[in-house]
């Protein structure tokens, strides 16, 4: 009974009306009023101050309302988890993403997908390109968001998400920050800051040096926040992909297009998953993710 009365109380507060709350709960106004009075009697405190057809919450009523919201949410979670366990289904999607790629689209996707499919537990993990490839290869992840560094394999679904432009983030006190675009030649005497764990440093340096063409010294940071602190201190530049307006950090960091042969360098990003795990739910997640990139101006 208390659980039902809590739901009635929440609805009355949200509607700010006994009449509207009663309509939404499909009971009479007198019935919902009686339920609230019974709730107050059971708890032994006044929750509402009634004034003609209006009411206000007492301090105790405000506390009971906020706590009830959390309790109802927890009860719903327990009910869903109980149903999942009873069906002996493990509804988990494990998602890997690049450490140095923006999280906005992924966050938006997880929010929307969770609203559509609350029965799924979305678990995320970050890493560099090779780490994500290993996550997928050894089935530690169901889907990874990664850049294309090798020929696309027939063993995987190669779902194109977007093609993004390459930039460098550089301290506003660096002379290079005055340029409208930069080239590899401009950057050859400036340390390149890469995001990598100690185990990944050699692989990341080799790729950026011998495949992308960055020259000079390399500095390593373990996450994007630390890398940007190094940039702000003018310790080097950070190669990054995305939109030119994602981060213009005012007076500390500038994001400048990276060009080659007078054209801005582009890189392709994909969602990858094994063909044997090509399920409708994985494809739906990838489609929602792609739509977020499109909404944010990436195609």
User: Which pLDDT score, from 0 to 100, does residue 88 have?
Assistant: 53
User: Which pLDDT score, from 0 to 100, does residue 247 have?
Assistant: 47
Determine phi and psi for 73, rounding to 5 degrees: -60, -40
Whole-angstrom distance, CA of residue 231 vs CA of residue 226: 9
User: Which pLDDT score, from 0 to 100, does residue 246 have?
Assistant: 44
User: Which pLDDT score, from 0 to 100, does residue 245 have?
Assistant: 46
Assess contact for 256 and 65: CB atoms under 8 A. Answer: no
Assess contact for 114 and 96: CB atoms under 8 A. Answer: no
String of DSSP letters for the chain: -HHHHHHHHHHHHHHT-HHHHHHHHTS-HHHHHHHHHHHHHHHTS--EEEETTEEEE-HHHHHHHHHHHHHHHHHHHHHHHHHHHHTT---EEEEEEETTS-SHHHHHHHHHHHHH-TTSEEEEEEE-HHHHHHHHHTTS-SEEEEE--SPPPTTEEEEEEEEEEEEEEEETTSGGGG-SSB-HHHHTTSPEEEE--TTTHHHHHHIIIIIS---S-EEEESSHHHHHHHHHTTS-BEEEEE-TTS---TTTEEEEEBEETTEE-EEEEEEEEEGGG--HHHHHHHHHHHHHHHHTT--
User: Which pLDDT score, from 0 to 100, does residue 237 have?
Assistant: 96
User: Which pLDDT score, from 0 to 100, does residue 282 have?
Assistant: 95
User: Which pLDDT score, from 0 to 100, does residue 223 have?
Assistant: 85
Residue with tokens 């090798």: 150
Split the chain (299 residues) into runs of 10 and give each run's mean pLDDT: 85 90 88 90 90 87 91 83 63 86 82 90 87 89 90 92 90 94 94 89 89 90 89 94 54 90 91 93 95 80
State how far the alpha carbon of 72 is from the alpha carbons of 8, 11, 39, 89, 114, in Å. 12, 12, 16, 24, 18
State how far the alpha carbon of 196 is from the alpha carbons of 57, 82, 123, 214, 242, in Å. 53, 40, 21, 16, 19
Determine phi and psi for 281, rounding to 5 degrees: -70, -35
Global pTM value: 0.60
User: Which pLDDT score, from 0 to 100, does residue 90 have?
Assistant: 61
């Amino acid at each position: 009974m208390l659980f039902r009365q809590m739901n009635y109380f929440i609805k009355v507060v949200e509607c700010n009306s006994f009449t509207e709350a009663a309509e939404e709960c499909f009971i009479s106004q007198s019935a919902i009023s009686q339920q609230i009075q019974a709730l107050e009697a059971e708890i032994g405190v006044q929750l509402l101050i009634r004034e003609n057809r209006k009411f206000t919450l007492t301090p105790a009523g405000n506390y009971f309302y906020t706590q009830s919201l959390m309790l109802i949410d927890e009860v719903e979670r327990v009910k869903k988890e109980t149903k999942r366990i009873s069906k002996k289904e493990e509804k988990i999607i494990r998602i890997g993403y690049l450490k140095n790629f923006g999280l906005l689209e992924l966050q938006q996707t997880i929010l929307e997908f969770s609203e559509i499919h609350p029965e799924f537990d979305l678990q995320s993990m970050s890493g560099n390109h090779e780490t994500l490839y290993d996550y997928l290869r050894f089935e530690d992840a169901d889907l990874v968001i990664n850049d294309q560094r090798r020929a696309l394999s027939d063993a995987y679904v190669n779902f194109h998400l977007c093609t993004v432009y390459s930039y460098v983030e550089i301290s506003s006190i660096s002379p290079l920050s005055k340029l409208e675009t930069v080239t590899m030649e401009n950057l050859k005497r400036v340390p390149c800051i890469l995001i990598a764990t100690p185990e990944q440093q050699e692989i990341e340096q080799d790729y950026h040096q011998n495949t992308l063409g960055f020259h000079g010294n390399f500095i390593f940071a373990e996450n994007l926040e630390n890398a940007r602190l190094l940039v702000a201190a003018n310790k080097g530049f950070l190669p990054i992909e995305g939109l030119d307006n994602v981060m213009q950090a005012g007076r500390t960091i500038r994001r400048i297009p990276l060009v080659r042969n007078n054209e801005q360098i582009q890189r392709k990003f994909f969602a990858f998953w094994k063909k044997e795990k090509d399920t409708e739910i994985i494809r739906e997640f990838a489609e929602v993710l792609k739509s977020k990139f499109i909404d944010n101006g990436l195609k």
